[in-house]
Each structure stands twice: as structure tokens, then as C-alpha cells.
Chains A and B, each alone.
Chain A
Amino acid sequence: MAELKILDLDVNISDTKKIIKGLNLSVKGGELHVLMGPNGSGKSTLANAIFGNPKYIVKAGKIELDGENLLSLKVDERARKGLFLAFQEPVEVPGVNVMNFLRIAFGQLKPGDPQITDFRQTVVAYLKRFGLAEHFLKRALNEGFSGGEKKRFELLQAILFSPKIAVLDELDSGLDMDSVKTMAEAVREQLAKGTGILMITHSEKMFEYLKPDFIHIMVDGKIVRSGGSEIASELHSKGYAGLGG
């Protein structure tokens, strides 16, 4: 089974600015981990560091996928190993058509997958499911997408590429209840297919539809508390400060 393992990780955003300090985390295939914490605690930095965004400097520690150290690999090499990141704010790429992009990406991430032969149909089925019209495929990548469209398109890709480990960075923020429900169903289905999911979130809305296997509370660059769903109710009553932050 797939496993993403993070060991004693230190991440800076400049030579002196430390964001993540000695973080440990393990996410296995089929598990749902929820990472919560106040603004500025380093959650998105962790997501970026896992994927090797060159703006983030790993000072110490390891990031392993199935025992292989990822730190020397480029972003696209990590993706091809089976990591997926759903972006909190996906960047607009003018001129690059959604359908072409998905086709190129699918070819890279799923070489030899038979779905490529009826790829358009495959994609259209997913679009329907996420309430996106077919003409969406003709648009430029993320350009002019509404907040909800961006989130749904990120999740669509997570399902389409069916990775070993997916990091979902604030995918639920700004969504209405119906969309959160659709999203939760998709996440549950993907877990059943064996994908391990690390969900970064600010809100507890998701817990109405999803039972996380683990909840981690991140404060000031460290995980200060890990446990099961009981943490959600503690958080509700005590806040981050009461959980060791």
C-alpha cells in the first residue's frame, strides 16, 4: 500500500524565515487525514514543500513516497510518482485549452491507461458529475473560472488522475453546502479506490459528510495534536489554543 512519509521536516521561505519546524506525518493509501490550524501555521507551505515548489526551501528532514526520498525529484517527477495537489488558488494559464491540458497531463500521469482512447467521453462524464458543462473544455485553463468552478475542476482532476496520495488544499472553502456534499462523496469514493488523502481545511463543515481517520492540528509549523474525530469536538469547544497551540 502507498505511503507518504514526512520525517522531521524543516521548511523555510527564505534563508532565515522558518515556516515548518520538525514536522512528522504519515499518510497511507485509503486513509483520510485532515490537517487544521490557524492562518499562517504553515499548512499550505507543507503542501508546496511536498510537491517541490522551488519557492520553498527544505532545510532538513525527508519526504518519502513508498520509501523513496522525493526531495531530489522535480515537481513533475513527483507528480508522475503518484502525488496530486489540488490548489487552493489555481493559477490562470491563458491560451491553454482545458481539454488539451487534461489530455497531455493524463498521458504523463497515466501512461498506458486505456481511458485515453475514449478520453473525451471519460472527461465529459466527470464534468457532468461536478456540474460543469461540456463547453468548459474549450475554456483556457483556470482563466475566468468562478471560485466554485476552480474548486470543482481541481477535484475533478484528483478523481481523473486517481493518484496514490492527494493533497487537497482548502478545497472546501467558499463552497455552498450542496457543493461540499458532492465533494465529500467524490472524496469518499476516491478513498475507496485506495488513494490516501491529506485534506487541508479551515472549516468543520466537511465532518458532517466525511469521517476522517486522523485529524492533525498544526500550529506554528508543528503538528501539536493528532487523533481521531474526537479532536473535532475538542477543537469546537476549546479552539486551537486549547489544543496546545
Chain B
Amino acid sequence: MIMEKLAFDYSGYNFRNGTDYELKFPKGLTKEVVERISKLKNEPDWMLEFRLNAYKFFLNRPIPTWGGDLSEIDFDSIHYFMRATKSMATKWDELPADIRATYDKLGIPEAEKKALSGVEVMYESESIYSSIKKELENIGVIFCDTDTAVRKYPELVKKYIGHVVSSNDNKFAALNSAVWSGGSFIYVPKGVRVPMPLQAYFRINAESMGQFERTLIIVDEGADVTYIEGCSAPVYSNNSLHAAVVEIIAHRNSHVKYITIQNWSDNIYNLVTKRAFAHENAFVEWVDANIGSRLTEKYPSVYMLEEGAKANIISIAFANKGQHQDAGAKAVHLASNTSSTIRSKSICVNGGRTSYRGLVKVIRGAEDVKSSTRCDALILDEISRSDTYPYMEVDEPSATITHEATVGKIGDEQLFYMQSRGLSEQDAVNTIVLGFMADFINELPLEFAIEFNRLIKISMEGAVG
């Protein structure tokens, strides 16, 4: 029995605004474009230099060919900068009505009231709204867009930007470093536990847009924070590009949980470098959901630099018609007694393709490392495809490394059993798919779990059997 159609309900995200832009760069990327971005932001010289260096790396790097098909990306047909509003709002009312309506539809102001410690929203190239609870600000927690951070906290940004992901790490990290704009900057002081999550929401509204946010999170000793990012875009015929870089520095005994719910429309190339440095006994968690986009290449990584560091990386990928989710994780063990857990779940249907690509690396001398990886794929029909590419580089005999992979289909007997209990075929498939994703949903704060369940209200029309 083959599911004819299984899709996440995207209708709530697919709406466009006729935004009057304050500023819109013509398409294409040159050195002048890089300089102009820097000038617009009144950046210090060191940042301009950072960008221009990165631009050279970008030009010299070839397009990677080891993963999905990137051959159709045309760097000359992308707008590298668009500004929607004159200034940053700190109250929702200050936003232009149409843009405000976008976020109302996405439910962000509502969520802020109920369940968040702070919100950052980015529209095209820049953050347009930013807020953090007063009591957190008073004890030194910083949560703002990264452009503001360059102005207000230059010493922190200068110290850490490019520290975890160098500008020459890969072609898209280089591109981001050259033309970055927006993104979140977080600093949590020693011993501070941020009680509710901080959230960012990235929205691409325009066609042929490039969004290059840069996120930098510094969590000081013994501090704790959860950060959630969501993203979406309307459906267009021309492709847009989202190439972000996220760097996390987790100091001794700190805990960071970074949750992504990526729900891009299927004309977006989503090529993101996410990496964390975990110091002594720090615990870094990536919870990464990739539901939309045309092609995603994203492997949240944790480099465990000092003893006792821990990593937990959970990802979920859903690939529908015309989509390829090439996602996974990297756990790099550079010190003794470090441990990592990687769990990946993927679902493909209607010709979609999911690839798990992961790296577990243990250097010689990093003793008593433990790492376990588990990848589960659910393939819902004969025309969809799922692959697993687990790379192991283990140079230390005391390491305990496990890897398990399963590939499942929904069996006729499972459907028969569930239908005999009154569930329609569609309900049965939904229940199995949601059950398959339960490990992921359990990682979300309650309010977001509810939102996620709503988002993945899977609609299936017509089943042939």
C-alpha cells in the first residue's frame, strides 16, 4: 500500500507581503557589495577586514560536491541585502502593519507573552524587533541582534566571531562571513540560568533573496540557556538561499540547548554551519528539525575540548517531493571522558530524499570516550530514498563507540491492526509518523511541542492500495 500524498501543512506559512523596502541591493555579489554592507552598518575596520578576507575565501573555494546537488545555485541572481524597516522595534506596535501581521500569523507575539524570556525577529537581512525580559537584562544577560552586538559589545564579538567556525571553513561559511547580516547574539554571565527559552524567528519574504544571519552564543561558567529558532518563507518559483553560521561557546559546567524548527518553503537552499565548543564538563544539545527547503545541508557539531564535556545531538528530517534533506551531526572528541549521543530520524515520501551524514571523531589520547549513534529512517513509498553515511575516525583504543541504523516502512499488517481499531488509513499513518518522531517532540518545551504538533498536522489525500 503506497501513500499517494503525505505533506506537512505549509498553508499557514505560505503568504507574501508587498513590503516597501527601505533599501534593496541589486542582484549579484562583488567586493563593492561586501563593502557597502559594512558601510551601511557603520562597522569598525576590523569587521570590514573580516568580511573582505572571507570574500576571498569564498571566491577561492569550489562548490562542494560530496552532498546534495548545488549546481543550480546562481550566486549572481541573488539579492544580498534587503532592509525592510528604518529602525529596530522594541514593541510589536512599532512595526509596519503588514510585517506585524506576518508575525501575528506565525504566533510569535503570543508565544512571547506565554513562554519566552526574549524574542529576536529577522525579516530579510536584518532584525526588526528585539526584546528581552527586564530582569534578565538587569543581571547581565545579553540578547540582541549581532549587528547591534558589534556596536555595543565589540570586544566580545571580536574575540569570538570566527572562533568556532573560521571564515575559511567551507564555501558557505565563507559566504556568510563576507555578507552576514542579522542573527542573534547571546551572552549569559557566570552562573545565570535563563528560566524560559530565548527565541529567534527568521523570515524570508522576498523572492531570490539571500539570508545570511550570523549567530553567536557565549555561555559563561555554570550558566544555562535554551534557544529556539524557527524559520519560514513563502513559496516562489525562483530559489532563495539561506546560508547561516552559528557559533556556540559553552564554558566550564555550562549547559546550552539549541532548538531549530526549520520550515523553509521548498525553493530555499538551506546551507548552514552550526558548531559548538564545549569546555570542561559543559553540556551542549542540538535539537534540529528540518521539515522544509529544497536542499538542506546541515550537521550540527560539538567539539568537546576539555574533560567531561558532553554532546547530545538529535535531528529529524522530513523530505517530500522535490526535497533533499542531507542532515546529521558531528561529535568531535578532543579530550578524555567526553561523551556524545547522536539520534537521527528521517522520513521520506513522494520521491523525497533523506541522507544521514555524521562524523564521530576521537583523537589519540582522549581516553574513555563514549559515543552512541542511532539513525532511524522511515520510507513511506517505493520512489523515495534514504541513505546513511556514518564516518568514524577513532584513533583511541579505549573509546566505546556504537552505531545502529534502521530502515523502516509502514507495514500492511500495522495498518490493518490500527484500522481494525477504528483508525482510518490516514490516521494510522499519521499516528505512526508522529510516534516515530516522539523522541524529538519530547525534547521540545511543552508550548513548542504543541506548536510543532500543529505544524506537522500531516495532510494526506488519497491513498492507493
| Residue B411 is within 8 A (CB to CB) of chain A in the complex | yes
| Residue B425 is within 8 A (CB to CB) of chain A in the complex | yes
| Residue A105 is within 8 A (CB to CB) of chain B in the complex | yes
Q: A54 contacts which chain B residues (CB < 8 A)?
A: 1, 412, 416, 465
Cα–Cα distance between A94 and B436 once the two chains are bound (Å): 7
Cα–Cα distance between A53 and B465 once the two chains are bound (Å): 12
How many residues of B are in contact with the other chain, CB < 8 A?
Answer: 25
Q: B465 contacts which chain A residues (CB < 8 A)?
A: 54
| Residue B431 is within 8 A (CB to CB) of chain A in the complex | yes
| Residue B427 is within 8 A (CB to CB) of chain A in the complex | yes
CB pair A104 B414 closer than 8 Å: no
CB pair A76 B419 closer than 8 Å: yes
Closest 6 CB pairs of A and B: A95-B435, A108-B422, A75-B419, A96-B435, A105-B421, A76-B419
Q: A108 contacts which chain B residues (CB < 8 A)?
A: 421-423, 427
Interface residues of A (CB under 8 A from B): 51, 53-55, 74-76, 78-80, 84-85, 87, 90-91, 93-97, 100-101, 104-105, 108-109, 140, 142, 157, 161
Cα–Cα distance between A36 and B424 once the two chains are bound (Å): 32
Q: A101 contacts which chain B residues (CB < 8 A)?
A: 418, 421, 431
CB pair B420 A95 closer than 8 Å: no
Q: A51 contacts which chain B residues (CB < 8 A)?
A: 416, 420
Q: B416 contacts which chain A residues (CB < 8 A)?
A: 51, 53-54, 75, 91
Q: Which of B412, B419, B428, B432 contacts A95 (CB 8 A)?
A: B432
Q: B420 contacts which chain A residues (CB < 8 A)?
A: 51, 75-76, 78-79, 84-85, 87
Cα–Cα distance between A55 and B417 once the two chains are bound (Å): 13
Cα–Cα distance between A101 and B438 once the two chains are bound (Å): 13
In this complex, the member of B408, B416, B436 whose beta carbon has the largest number of chain A beta carbons within 10 angstroms is: B416
CB pair B438 A104 closer than 8 Å: no
CB pair B421 A90 closer than 8 Å: no
CB pair A76 B424 closer than 8 Å: yes
| Residue B413 is within 8 A (CB to CB) of chain A in the complex | yes
Nearest to B427 among chain A residues (CB) is A104
Nearest to A95 among chain B residues (CB) is B435
Given A54-B465, A91-B411, A104-B427, decide whether A157 and B435 contact each other with a Cβ distance below 8 A.
Answer: no
CB pair A94 B421 closer than 8 Å: no
Q: A142 contacts which chain B residues (CB < 8 A)?
A: 417
Q: B408 contacts which chain A residues (CB < 8 A)?
A: 94
Q: B431 contacts which chain A residues (CB < 8 A)?
A: 96, 100-101, 104
Nearest to B431 among chain A residues (CB) is A96
Cα–Cα distance between A94 and B421 once the two chains are bound (Å): 17
Given A91-B411, A91-B413, A93-B414, decide whether A109 and B435 contact each other with a Cβ distance below 8 A.
Answer: no
Nearest to B439 among chain A residues (CB) is A95
Q: Which of A79, A95, A109, A157 contacts B438 (CB 8 A)?
A: A95
Smallest distance from the beta carbon of B413 to chain A beta carbons, Å? 4
Cα–Cα distance between A104 and B408 once the two chains are bound (Å): 23
Cα–Cα distance between A91 and B435 once the two chains are bound (Å): 15
CB pair A140 B421 closer than 8 Å: no
Smallest distance from the beta carbon of A97 to chain B beta carbons, Å? 7
Q: Which of B411, B419, B432 contacts A96 (CB 8 A)?
A: B432
Nearest to A167 among chain B residues (CB) is B420
Q: B411 contacts which chain A residues (CB < 8 A)?
A: 91
In this complex, the member of A80, A85, A93 whose beta carbon has the largest number of chain B beta carbons within 10 angstroms is: A93
Task: Identify 14 residue pairs between A and B in the complex whose beta-carbon atoms are under 8 Å apart, listed by A's number.
Answer: A54-B1, A76-B420, A76-B422, A79-B419, A79-B422, A87-B417, A91-B414, A93-B414, A94-B436, A95-B432, A96-B432, A97-B438, A101-B431, A108-B427
Q: A85 contacts which chain B residues (CB < 8 A)?
A: 420
CB pair B421 A109 closer than 8 Å: yes
Nearest to B438 among chain A residues (CB) is A95
CB pair B421 A91 closer than 8 Å: no
CB pair B435 A140 closer than 8 Å: yes
Interface string of B402-418 (1 = CB under 8 A from A): 00000010011110111
Q: A76 contacts which chain B residues (CB < 8 A)?
A: 419-425, 427-428
Nearest to B378 among chain A residues (CB) is A95
Cα–Cα distance between A79 and B432 once the two chains are bound (Å): 19
Cα–Cα distance between A51 and B421 once the two chains are bound (Å): 11
Nearest to A80 among chain B residues (CB) is B422
Q: Which of A75, A90, A94, A105 contacts B435 (CB 8 A)?
A: A94
Nearest to A110 among chain B residues (CB) is B422
Smallest distance from the beta carbon of A130 to chain B beta carbons, Å? 17
Smallest distance from the beta carbon of A192 to chain B beta carbons, Å? 23
Q: A74 contacts which chain B residues (CB < 8 A)?
A: 419, 424-425
Cα–Cα distance between A60 and B413 once the two chains are bound (Å): 24
Nearest to B345 among chain A residues (CB) is A95
CB pair A105 B419 closer than 8 Å: no
Cα–Cα distance between A105 and B422 once the two chains are bound (Å): 6
Nearest to A53 among chain B residues (CB) is B416
In this complex, the member of A51, A53, A55, A140 whose beta carbon has the largest number of chain B beta carbons within 10 angstroms is: A53
Q: B424 contacts which chain A residues (CB < 8 A)?
A: 74, 76
Nearest to B421 among chain A residues (CB) is A105
In this complex, the member of B421, B431, B437 whose beta carbon has the largest number of chain A beta carbons within 10 angstroms is: B421
CB pair A79 B417 closer than 8 Å: no
Q: B436 contacts which chain A residues (CB < 8 A)?
A: 94-95
Q: A84 contacts which chain B residues (CB < 8 A)?
A: 420
Smallest distance from the beta carbon of B424 to chain A beta carbons, Å? 5
Interface string of B1-22 (1 = CB under 8 A from A): 1000000000000000000000
